Amino acid sequence: MIEIKDLKKGFGDRMVINGVSARLEAGKCNLIIGTSGSGKTVLMKCLVGLFEPDSGDIEYSGQSFTAMNEEERKMLRQQIGMLFQGSALFDSMTVEQNITFPLDMFTENTPEQKLSRVNEVLQRVNLKDVNDKFPAELSGGMKKRVGIARAIVLNPKYLFCDEPNSGLDPQTSLLIDKLIKEITLEYNITTVVNTHDMNSVMEIGDHIIYMYQGLKEWEGNNKEIIFNKNEKLNKFIFASEFLQDAKDMRMLEAKGKIDNDRNMEDLLR
């Protein structure tokens, strides 16, 4: 679990994160959504230590991250996996070498142990016979899955995903969402996803934080978000007529179910 306590971060005269508090739980996909400039990317960078907050606290399983020294942070980072927006694979390295990289940095495993672990995570992300391929030889979806394999190779407690579906077609995006969800549940990881993708919100949004101008404007899950009454959030998620029509349909379905339930109650009286 990660707990954010009254976090603030500014640049010059501009306050980008203004007193945000939230609890990100293990075994759940915790999504941070919002328009560009809302503060969601800065919030994630504060969570992983790329930015130092001006005030407030971040706790990892009850331990204050902001109070840790560099050695303590290095130890914690061994428990953190990161899936970057562009996958961030090393072009000059093979798939096997890319995934082995964190093992080389943080473990003293033998080459045989490293290879066994690499093959294990490749199998988990449904990739085989790609060990010797270079990133340029992979499709966008395969690169994302290699990125996920590298992110989980150290058995992390925490997984951060920055726009995991960026640049992918809808079908591949669904596969990546499903994989992230499965891994989160299987290993009881605290997963934090920074995304604009409303399909991801509806598919894997166990816990959703909507950021607006540096504030936590709304918090809930993917079942509650359709029926929320926050005007700013509705403008964000129902920006197109298609999505608004989908919302209207869901509302009608819900109303129809309620009416049917009431009619059934009347008949049983």
pLDDT in tens, 191-236: 999 998 889 999 999 999 999 999 999 999 999 998 899 999 998 8
| Cα distances (Å, whole numbers) of residue 91 to 85, 98, 133, 138 | 15, 9, 10, 11
The domain locations on the chain are 2-230, 238-269
- Read off φ and ψ for residue 63, nearest 5 degrees: -100, 130
pLDDT band at 245 (very low <50, low <70, confident <90, very high): low
Cα 217 to chain centroid, rounded: 18
The model's confidence at residue 240, banded by pLDDT at 50, 70 and 90, is very low
241 pLDDT tier (thresholds 50, 70, 90): very low
Kindly report, residue by residue over 40-91, the tens digit of the pLDDT. 999 999 999 999 999 999 999 999 999 999 999 989 999 999 999 888 999 9
At residue 60, the 3 state secondary structure works out as: strand
- Length of the chain counted residue by residue: 269
Q: What is the CA radius of gyration of the chain?
A: 21
As given in the structure block, the two tokens for residue 24 are 């990100």
**CA–CA dist 83, 72 (Å, integer):** 22
For the entire predicted model, the pTM comes to 0.86
Q: CA angle, 43 as apex, 173 and 40 as ends, to 5°?
A: 45
In 111-189 the beta strands, taken as DSSP E runs, fall at 158-162
CATH homologous superfamily of 2-230 equals P-loop containing nucleotide triphosphate hydrolases (3.40.50.300)
